[in-house]
Amino acid sequence: MLRFAAGLSVCASLAPATTLVAIWTPDRVLLGADSLVTTNQQAPASGCKIAQAGSTYFALSGLSRDDAAGFAAAPLATEAARQGTMPEKVAAFVKLARGPLTRAVDGLRRDSPQDYLMLASGRPVLQMIFTQADDSPVLGMAAFNVAPEGGLRVHTAVVDGSDARGPRIVYAGQQGRIREYLKSHRDWAAGDAARLVNTLIQLEIDSGSAYVGGPVDILAITPHRAEWLQRKSGCGL
């Protein structure tokens, strides 16, 4: 099982927001997200966390925007999605994001030491999940962490079935209830995958968090086709 550790969604300040769940199988990829959007500047609102760039879809969790540092991850992900293969997309995103994200983290270290220490303790700074309507289901992932010596350490992965390890689940953002559920449901791959994605995200919504909220959006990717299994009105994708 691939797993991203607990993540953050922030805009100029840090908060444990957003829950993302993706399941890869040889037949399709499912990508789900909650809808609650919070910043320190606006009241909570419902937002679309799964974005589209051509035939590629992506979702972000963590320091995806820092207005003070002039950093916004979504446009960089859109630009990276124009690359050809999934490994190329992931590599392009890392290259585009590393510099401005480093500057944003440096700003936190200077202006918000408590938030920086939280990241330096192991929480991911930024996590990205790509999926694409291509010849076969594929997931691309990148996670940025603060390195012990300072700077950023990056982990990337592409799941396309080439390792013959079978179904894979990835979760990012707030995930305490998800980890508890999967620990007691080792046979998660035997059930309905779409229902599982909804269940896992709903667990985090029902936990009473002020940073994760419904409804749950779920996108299914099969060869050369993307289909919304659940989507709130107004997303416009």
Q: How confident is the model at residue 43 (pLDDT cuts 50, 70, 90)?
A: low
- Of 65-69, 72-76, 81-85, 139-143, which gets the smallest average pLDDT? 65-69
The pLDDT tens digits of the residues spanning 20-30 come to 999 999 999 99
Residue 208 lies in a domain: yes
Confidence (pTM): 0.89
Residue 1 lies in a domain: no
The pLDDT tens digits of the residues spanning 176-232 come to 999 999 999 999 999 999 999 999 999 999 998 888 999 999 999 998 899 999 998
Residue 10 lies in a domain: no
Domain count along the chain: 1
Residue 24 lies in a domain: yes
Residue 45 lies in a domain: yes
Classify residue 70 as left (phi > 0), alpha (psi -120 to 50) or beta.
left
Residue 2 lies in a domain: no
Residue 8 lies in a domain: no
Range of the domain at 153: 19-230
Dist. CA 209–CA 122, nearest whole Å: 21
* pLDDT mean across residues, the chain: 87
Kindly tell me if the per-residue pLDDT of 8 is higher than 60. Answer: no
Q: Which residue has the tokens 């299914």?
A: 220
> Which domain CATH number covers 74?
3.60.20.10
Kindly tell me if the per-residue pLDDT of 76 is higher than 80. Answer: yes
